[in-house]
Every structure is written in C-alpha cells, then in structure tokens.
Amino acid sequence: MGITVEPIKGDEIKKALAVVDGNPFEYNDVTDSTQRGPAKPKLLTALLGGVDKMMTTTAFVYDEITDTAQLPSGKSYTERGKTIKNDDAKQKIFAIPSFGLRANIRPADYANRRKPGTTEMMDEAYLIAKLTEKLDLGYILQDELGFAKLLTEDKNLVDDGPFTQYNFYTDIVGSSRPSKYVMSLTDTSADHIKLQRDQKKALLEEISKSGETVSAIVEICGDTYFNERLEIERNESLGRPLRSNLDLASMEVNTSDWGSTSFNYDWFKGDQDGIIYINYGAEILTGTKLIADTDAYMIPIGAKNFVGIAYAPAQTQTYVNTEAMKRYSWSNSNEFEGVTLITEENKLFFDKNPRLIRALVDA
C-alpha cells in the first residue's frame, strides 16, 4: 500500500489529500505535522507604531507650526523696544493610499481532503480560518516594511498602487536628508564614543526644538554595524573594574523581543554614551535585509509627533465620510464558486518630523 500527497497549488495554503492505494477503508495513523512559514519581524512596528490617526477623508491633514524667538533689544527709557513678529503656520496635506488582499475558497479546495496533521475531513470553515491567518500576516509584514521605508528612505509605502510616494524629508524640511554620518567603527584611532555622543547630542537638540519628551535613544543596527560597535564596547570593558551587571567582554549580550512578540533581538546599552543598540537583521519575503549590514538609524523612543499611520475610511456606501477603521472586510458566497474574502487597509505611513532620524554608517 502506498500513500501519495497531492501537490500544493500556487501560493495557496497546504491542502493535503491522502490517497490510499489498496483498501480504501483501511485506517491510517497521522502523526504530528511540521510547519514552516515566513519570519514575522515586528521590531520597527513595536518601537515606532502605535500613533494612529483615524481620518474621515482620504487625506492626512495637519498644521505645521514653527515658533521663532526674538531677543530684547537695547533701548532708551522713552522707547518701547522692537515689535515681536507673528509666527506662521503651514497646512500639510498628504493623500492616503489603499492596499488590499482577497482570498477564494472553492468547494473543490476541500472536497475529499483532510485537515493536515489530523484524520478529520477538511471543510470550508477550516480554510476560511487558515486564509484569514494568511491575510493577517500579509498586513503585519506590510506594516513592518512601511516603517522600514520611512526609516531608511523617508518615503511612504505605495506598493505600485496609483498613489503619490512622498519624500517626507524633502517635503517638510525643504532639502534632501544629509548623507549618512560616518562612525568609523573599524578605525582604531577614532574616538568612537565621542562620535556616538555627537550624534546623540544633535538628535537631542532636534528633540528639544520639537518640544518632545522621549524615554530613550536607540540605534537600529544592521548586522555588521552591531557587531563592530559591540566589539568596541567589549574592549572598553577590559582593564578596568566591572561597573555593571553585564560584562560584555565575557558575558552574553542581552536579548529582548522589545514588545514585538515575534523573536528576540540582541541588544546592549553603551556604557559611556547611554545609547541602546539593537541588532536588526530582518528581511521580509524578498531576502533583502530591511537595514543594510553596515548601516544604523538613531531614533528617539516615545516621541508623540514623529512617525505613525494615518487611516482613511473605505469609499463605500456604508463607510464613506465616516471615521476610519484599521481594516475593512467583506465576503461574498456562491453555491458553485464558494466564498470570497475581500479586505483592504487604507493607510499612509507618515513621518511628521524627519529630522528625528539620523542615518549612520560604520565606515
């Protein structure tokens, strides 16, 4: 008696059909199944997400207010001093793109099939649940990709849709983002701590100008950058008494999921610069790392008017001109064609303060 498994069709979920050669009524034990799927990096979403703006139109609108300062002037006792100038505000308007995924479950997809890992017959409800999980994963990965694009390019995600891709640094600041600041991590003659503290000081100045209160300064590091910065920290620990609970010269670095609930990331806090370094070598589907090996991005944690997602309502009879929801879902059912699931998220990954990202490179 032989057992064959029907091959997977396209990019659909696994729909295994056990065909028994011989006695069709013979019982077959099924042991625990194995499962493999794409990684789910959510570090950037955890650190940068959570600031959601629910719009009632398809535009993200806010006012940019720039306050200036004017020092008192010297005058005689009979004069009244210079007049303070009024400050202007600018309205910013950005269109919100729309993204969608759909799935179809046909009767033929579960006819004569069993649920993988069991002897139970497959049904429509099972496939709806599995494809819903796959839809969820697609949007989760897209959020991480959207924040990565803001971090590395200052641009919003459009994914080939018919929407404008903005460069927030150019549109808001009026010039291109400065070239990556060279940190000379492999130069043994460089003062690495000073280089890091100079960048931190510049970022703290921008934070102060923005009126923000932040909880930490973090560098999201590519693999090579993290390893080289860690090596410097290890060498700093040699030849002196241990000043903390973690001796990087001989002990394992910290790990944490940083609220991402996905997988743990190596990290350490600089002993002299106070910066938190996180090793982020993630990739999404394509095999290309979201942060290049030799790059790092210094950002504040806890800023309120920084990056986030603006959502727009679905343009349907029910939802147009209403407060947006994160996701919209519909379903159509047909006796012969089965069930079609339709989903969309209308969202703009925005950066209202692009000066709070400092792009670094190891050498």
Look up tokens 């013979």; give the residue. 26
Contact 237, 248 (CB under 8 A): yes
Tens digit of each residue's pLDDT (9 = 90 or more) over 146-190: 999 999 999 999 998 899 999 999 999 999 999 999 999 999 999
Look up tokens 């703009």; give the residue. 348
Collect all residues with Cβ–Cβ distance below 8 Å to 92 and sequence separation of at least 6. Answer: 61, 62, 63, 64, 171, 172, 352
Residue 124 exposed, middle or buried by CB count within 10 Å (0-12, 13-18, 19+): middle
Q: For residues 60 and 351, what is the distance between their CA atoms, to the nearest angstrom?
A: 11
- Token pair in block for residue 27: 């019982």
Contact 128, 109 (CB under 8 A): no
Q: How far is Cα of residue 200 from the mean position of the Cα atoms in its chain? A: 22
Q: For residues 310 and 227, what is the distance between their CA atoms, to the nearest angstrom?
A: 36
pLDDT at 29: 66
Angle between helices 192-209 and 223-237 in degrees, nearest 10: 120
Q: What is the mean pLDDT of residues 316-331?
A: 97
Q: What is the mean pLDDT of residues 88-111?
A: 92
Identify any residues that bridge with 331 across adjacent strands, giving them in sequence order.
Answer: 341
pLDDT at 136: 95
Tens digit of each residue's pLDDT (9 = 90 or more) over 23-40: 555 556 666 667 666 778
Tens digit of each residue's pLDDT (9 = 90 or more) over 272-307: 999 999 999 888 876 789 999 999 999 999 998 999
Phi, psi (rounded to 5 degrees) for 254: -70, 155
- pLDDT for residue 321 is more than 50: yes
**Band of the pLDDT at 68, cuts 50, 70, 90?**
confident
**99: which DSSP letter?**
E
